[in-house]
Structure 1
Amino acid sequence: MPHNGFRKAVMAMAITYAAGLTTLAQADVIIGVAGPMTGGNAAFGEQFWRGAEQAAADINAAGGIDGEKITLIKADDACEPKQAVAVANRLVDSDNVVAVVGHFCSSSTIPASEVYDEAGIISITPGSTNPQVTERGLTGEFRMCGRDDQQGTIAGDYIVDTLKATKVAVIHDKDTYGQGLADATRAQLNKRGVKEVMYEGLTRGEKDFNALVTKIRASGADVVYFGGLHPEAGPLVRQMREQGVTAKFVSGDGIVTDELVGTAGGPQFVDGVLMTFGADPRLIPDGKAVIEKFRANGYEPEGYTLYSYASVQAIAAAFNGAGSTDGAEASQWLKSHPVQTVMGTKSFDEKGDLKVSDYVMYQWGADGKYKQL
């Protein structure tokens, strides 16, 4: 933000503190937007930023938060835990944020949220699904998405009931999110009587999976489940097809971006790929006007775009409802009141999880687009 705007914010917060007030400071409401703005997963950071940016613009146009404008601060963690902690400290100590939308990778969200919680700042992740994000008793940590133990159940049941698979290879990327999701899916498969024929990890950033594909082919798997993100999922599925492995490829919400097509080398390689994700928010009537606004500006609000938009809406509702930007007060309000969002009405439990999760199955087509089944 401009230097004089920053000075205004600092002065206003100092005056509020001196007066012992809990009402909103007469200054911009500064919200951080944290995620992978660079690197292999930058597509998700772009979704986060686009959604938050449009939400802030729309809320500001409608009067802001208690009459004050929202100012966003972009923070790049590159999906690296150490960088996420550095980013979190900067947002708290230098940028003076009162809330954070982020992070994306669970391995970044978990350590960064400790920083926010210690500072008494509310944070909402639009996309981190590892259960531990909300299982540590943090006061101000929320998520606008479901959990891997919910997502894994849907995936496991679909593989058994719909795909009728008996031989499943489970692959993960050794990351908090990817391995956690793979483990949740494996647990559900085992519960349903299907023991995986292979369980193995790959390394994020790796591109040559031919040796792994050879093992998959030798296992006789009729389904390959992958817990991870699109930069690895794309090359993996392409090399499977190039080696003649026709097993169904199933993954989770880490591939919900059109960039999967590019990393796979073309739509012909993603045709038939299945993935779990929340019910498509673009189909929800509550978001029609916002979706049309995105599209009129030449942007398709795919993936987590509307999740990020809804996260800003929830933060604004909490601050307005509590009459304060105090994290504890806003958090308590958010756990006690439903919020109207672009994705419909959302309610949170005491952990900060959504009370209702809506995971469904999607399939990628030959046109390089995904559709809800």
Structure 2
Amino acid sequence: MKRREFAAGAALLTLLGACSSADKVYIAVAAPLSGDQAVQGEYMLKAVQLAVDEVNKKGGIKGKTVEIVTGDDQAKPLDATSVARKLASTDGVYGVIGHFNSGCSIPASSIYSQSNLVMITPGSTNPTLTEQGLKNIYRIVGRDDQQGSVDGDFALKKLKALRIAILHDKTPYGQGLAAFFRDTVEKGGAEVVFFEGITRGDKDFRAVLTKIKTIDPDLLFYGGVFVEAGLVVSQARELGIDARFMSGDGTKDQSFVELVGKTTGDIYVSGPAQINNKAFVDAYRTKFNNEAPGPFGPYAYDAARILLAAMEKAPKLTREAVAEEVRKIKVFPGLAGPIAFDDKGDVVKAPFDIYVIKGGVFVPYRA
């Protein structure tokens, strides 16, 4: 399987011509393939590669070899729209797996919708994405209003949190998750004693953490991704803040564990429910030098399988026909069980778990 790649700000090179081949068809992966969240993009890409390789071994799609076109959005909304425009204008691309970040998926989605191009995201959880009423836009994971409720209930019922400080990274994902979490805990009787945003990309959060220390909360919640989350935890512990720490699925990455080092106690992170996917994990490890798939790898794999199945089933290979086949899906055999989409493009069933760190890895919380 071949991969053709272009950066958001770079020229498309020979991609436009390459995608008109009579014996090949293309799907796209749009994700952060460089920058501080590149690890998530690479996880996505490898999972999609696995799905594509499996299809090609069986003869491809309608006798045509499937190849992957990649677009690097660097987790930046402006780059995501540039990637989306290039993919939408590229003949021979029948669907997009991505983007990863909600802040990228939301602006890119309107471009894909206008071009009759299916977009299936394995990681974007902000509700706005599917509340826009756009056609051909789907997600495999649950929404932040669902996750925020799960997190809030856990904070109230399991952690018995009473005074909660909340930080977020001002992105659609981070701020949205933080707001849904806040709504849940306040309705449950807890007091939110601090709610403020930080700037993604900053490295020193000691000033805002010092303010939090004077308030002395019993729980610190962070809405954002693992890069800043690791720094927040490490610096909070340096300052003597002993509040328990909680965050969402953007933090559930092995890089977070490495960032916090030995300070892994009293950390709780939500994420998609653990999948019984031994066959997928074994195939992934075999192909990628015994590397474990990332937390959103299974969802990228399922997203690719759905797109490829729709392409094969379409009576003729056009974007409109492929989109129609995705819309017809009632039950698709996903790794976590049957996948079905509602009228908005959300999955009907999207369970979340809470994870803790034991032995240097995330494991499901068990009381």
TM-score, length of structure 2 as denominator length: 0.91
Q: Secondary structure at the match of 1:114?
A: helix
Report whether the alignment pairs 1:250 with 2:260: no
Q: Which of 192, 213, 230 is residue 217 of structure 1 equivalent to?
A: 213
Distance in 1 of aligned mates of 2:316 and 2:213: 58
Deviation at residue 272 of structure 1 after TM alignment: 3.4
Q: Which residue of 1 aligns with 2:187?
A: 191
Q: Which of 285, 296, 301 is residue 304 of structure 1 equivalent to?
A: 296
Deviation at residue 302 of structure 1 after TM alignment: 2.4
Letter of the 2:106 counterpart:
I
1:327-342 correspondence to structure 2 within 5 Å: 327-337=319-329, 338-342=331-335
Q: Which residue of 2 aligns with 1:360?
A: 353
Letter of the 1:273 counterpart:
I
Deviation at residue 9 of structure 1 after TM alignment: 4.7
1:84-163 correspondence to structure 2 within 5 Å: 84-94=80-90, 96-163=92-159
Query: Is the 1:140–1:328 contact (alpha carbons within 8 Å) kept by the matching residues of 2?
Result: no
Letter of the 1:353 counterpart:
D
1:161-310 correspondence to structure 2 within 5 Å: 161-264=157-260, 266=261, 268-281=262-275, 284=276, 287-296=277-286, 297-310=289-302
Q: Which moved more, 1:138-147 or 1:95-104?
A: 95-104
Q: Which moved more, 1:239-248 or 1:292-301?
A: 292-301
Distance in 1 of aligned mates of 2:176 and 2:47: 26
Deviation at residue 335 of structure 1 after TM alignment: 3.3
Letter of the 2:344 counterpart:
K
Query: Is the 2:224–2:250 contact (alpha carbons within 8 Å) kept by the matching residues of 1?
Result: yes
Q: Secondary structure at the match of 2:192?
A: coil
Which is helix-richer, 1 or 2? 1
Q: Which residue of 1 aligns with 2:49?
A: 53
Deviations 1:104-129 (A, max 9, x none): 11111011111111111001000000
Deviation at residue 6 of structure 1 after TM alignment: 7.2
Distance in 2 of aligned mates of 1:361 and 1:352: 25
Query: Is the 1:271–1:368 contact (alpha carbons within 8 Å) kept by the matching residues of 2?
Result: no
Report whether the alignment pairs 1:10 with 2:20: yes
Query: Is the 2:340–2:347 contact (alpha carbons within 8 Å) kept by the matching residues of 1?
Result: yes
Deviation at residue 344 of structure 1 after TM alignment: 2.7
Which is strand-richer, 1 or 2? 2
Q: Secondary structure at the match of 2:191?
A: coil
Q: Which residue of 2 aligns with 1:20?
A: none
Q: Which runs of 5+ in 1 are unaligned?
A: 13-26
Q: Which runs of 5+ in 2 are unaligned?
A: 5-12
Q: Secondary structure at the match of 1:240?
A: helix
Deviation at residue 210 of structure 1 after TM alignment: 1.0
Aligned-CA RMSD value: 1.9
Distance in 2 of aligned mates of 1:178 and 1:145: 16
Q: Which residue of 2 aligns with 1:72?
A: 68
Q: Secondary structure at the match of 1:197?
A: strand
Deviations 1:226-254 (A, max 9, x none): 00011100010001111111111100010
Deviations 1:189-216 (A, max 9, x none): 1221223010011110111111111111
Letter of the 2:301 counterpart:
Y
Q: How many residues align?
A: 352
Identity of aligned residues (%): 35
Letter of the 2:201 counterpart:
G
Distance in 2 of aligned mates of 1:90 and 1:6: 9
Q: Which moved more, 1:333-342 or 1:311-320?
A: 333-342
Q: Secondary structure at the match of 2:173?
A: helix
Q: Which residue of 2 aligns with 1:19?
A: none
Change (3 A) 1:336 1:136: same
Distance in 1 of aligned mates of 2:21 and 2:54: 26
Distance in 1 of aligned mates of 2:218 and 2:195: 14
Distance in 1 of aligned mates of 2:336 and 2:318: 25
Where do 4+ consecutive residues of structure 1 move more than 4 Å?
Answer: 1-9
Query: Is the 1:335–1:349 contact (alpha carbons within 8 Å) kept by the matching residues of 2?
Result: no
Change (3 A) 1:317 1:221: same
Letter of the 1:86 counterpart:
S
Deviation at residue 328 of structure 1 after TM alignment: 3.9
Q: Secondary structure at the match of 2:250?
A: helix
Deviation at residue 35 of structure 1 after TM alignment: 0.8
Deviations 1:10-30 (A, max 9, x none): 264xxxxxxxxxxxxxx3221
Letter of the 1:349 counterpart:
D
Report whether the alignment pairs 1:345 with 2:338: yes
Distance in 1 of aligned mates of 2:283 and 2:190: 46
Change (3 A) 1:186 1:93: same
Q: Secondary structure at the match of 2:131?
A: coil
Deviation at residue 89 of structure 1 after TM alignment: 1.1
Query: Is the 2:271–2:352 contact (alpha carbons within 8 Å) kept by the matching residues of 1?
Result: yes
Q: Which residue of 2 aligns with 1:370?
A: 362
Distance in 2 of aligned mates of 1:4 and 1:57: 23
Deviation at residue 95 of structure 1 after TM alignment: 6.1
Deviations 1:60-85 (A, max 9, x none): 11232233222101111011111101
TM-score, length of structure 1 as denominator length: 0.89
